[in-house]
Amino acid sequence: MRAAISLLVLLFSMCGAQTRSTQTEVQTESQSTGAAAAAAAEVSTQLDVSAELRELRDMVVELRVLLTVTENEFQNTKAEMKTEVKNLKKENAAQKKELKAVKTRLTASEAEVEQVKKDTAAQHTDLTNIKTEIMNLTKENEAIVTDVEELKMANNATVTEVDDLKVENAAQEAELTALKTRLAATEAEVMNLRKGNAALETRLAASENELKMDSAAHEQELTALKTRLAASETGIDDLKVENAAQEAELTAVKTRLAATETEVDNLGKEIKPAPKVAFSAGLTNSGFLKSGNNKLNLAFSRIITNVGQAYSNTTGFFTAPVRGVYYFRFTVRDNLDSRWMTIGMFKNGQQVMGLYEYDTDGEQSYLSSGLTLQLEVGDEINLRIPADYRLYDSTSNYSTFSGFLLFPL
């Protein structure tokens, strides 16, 4: 409006300047041509001014009409802007709620990740301890095997020594038998020579004493050999008992090692990455979607994310690929003008949640909620509206359906 007033002022200024210029020219001409010519020029000038004033009035009328139209367009634009701001506020509120829920889920996911990291670290620590124990058992087993070999070598040496003692004992027995034979021959010779040779008798007596001393020494040595042999046999028996105990202990160690290896294999099998399942989809980009005379299973056909390919945008069904706990969420929109909006979530055909809304202002209305469900492999989740209801969506994704696996069971 200020622009229109400025334009009018400019036009009036131009008209005034032109009038003054015309008057100046008329006065100049009147001075040169006389009074009659001056009168005629004045009349012509007044007629021109009147014509210009009429044109200016017409222009003012046109400007007023243009100003009225501009004001109407401004009011319409202002109303549309208010409506758009209101819609944006509603969408912002819904987005804030969803952002809060996402933050809560993110916090829970981060806590779960930290717990998984702790569990994995503990498992790695246990695995390291088991590997260390296995290495220690292996070293201990090698030491036991070395000790057994040394004992076998010592046993072989002892057996060899016993065999040598047996050979030596046999030689001593043979020598003792020979000495007894010699003694008998000597006694016979002494009996024959005693009468005739006293010196020989003395000499024989000395020889007998010497033989007795040798025989006693041999007997003592033989007794010592027998004692030594008995001790060797006892040591061999002890070695056999100890060897049997070591073999039993080695068998137990092998059994324990096999059990530990089996446990390590089982732990390796248990430490598997969790499956990744998540999806989000928009309803449609065609505006209103109506159910008609029958209930309608909603197929959110515009895939945004589909990790794991568990959601079908053709049927609108999510099929659980693994047994676990899942979280599902949806947001839908309609323009309510004295009508209801409703939606339900179904698990294997059984309703697990329903929402309703009624409004009369003809503005955008939203239904939004989420649910945590424990599912078995093959369980199906979908959304449905009753007969004679509708929803709205476009490329802006006003109506969406999302879900993801929290953790497997």
Check pLDDT > 70 for residue 207: no
- Higher pLDDT: 23 or 406? It is 406
384 touches 283 (CB < 8 A): no
In this prediction, residue 26 carries a pLDDT of 39
21 backbone dihedrals φ, ψ, rounded to 5° = -65, -45
In this prediction, residue 211 carries a pLDDT of 62
- Higher pLDDT: 350 or 153? It is 350
In this prediction, residue 169 carries a pLDDT of 62
C-alpha to C-alpha distance for 155 and 188, rounded to whole angstroms: 49
In this prediction, residue 116 carries a pLDDT of 63
Check pLDDT > 80 for residue 248: yes
Max avg pLDDT among 132-141, 165-174, 179-188, 382-391: 382-391
Helices (H), 349-393: none
In this prediction, residue 22 carries a pLDDT of 46
Check pLDDT > 60 for residue 109: yes
Taking residues 386-400, report their average pLDDT. Answer: 91
Least confident interval from 105-119, 184-198, 349-363? 184-198
Ramachandran class of 342: left when φ > 0, alpha when ψ lies in -120 to 50, beta otherwise: beta
Q: What is the mean pLDDT of the chain?
A: 78
Check pLDDT > 50 for residue 162: yes
329 touches 373 (CB < 8 A): no
Check pLDDT > 80 for residue 307: yes
Check pLDDT > 50 for residue 156: yes
In this prediction, residue 19 carries a pLDDT of 46
**Residues in Cβ contact with 129 at an 8 Å cutoff, skipping those fewer than 6 apart:** none
Check pLDDT > 60 for residue 326: yes
pLDDT band at 28 (very low <50, low <70, confident <90, very high): very low
Check pLDDT > 50 for residue 30: no
- Alpha carbons within 13 angstroms on the beta-carbon side of residue 91 total 14
C-alpha to C-alpha distance for 391 and 30, rounded to whole angstroms: 84
The proportion of the chain whose per-residue pLDDT surpasses 90, expressed as a percent, equals 24
Pairing outcome for strands 364-375 and 296-297:
unpaired
C-alpha to C-alpha distance for 250 and 19, rounded to whole angstroms: 130
C-alpha to C-alpha distance for 130 and 135, rounded to whole angstroms: 9
pLDDT band at 20 (very low <50, low <70, confident <90, very high): low
Least confident interval from 53-57, 108-112, 339-343? 108-112
Check pLDDT > 70 for residue 35: no
Question: C-alpha angle 43/49/53, rounded to 5°?
Answer: 145
C-alpha to C-alpha distance for 22 and 10, rounded to whole angstroms: 18
In this prediction, residue 24 carries a pLDDT of 46
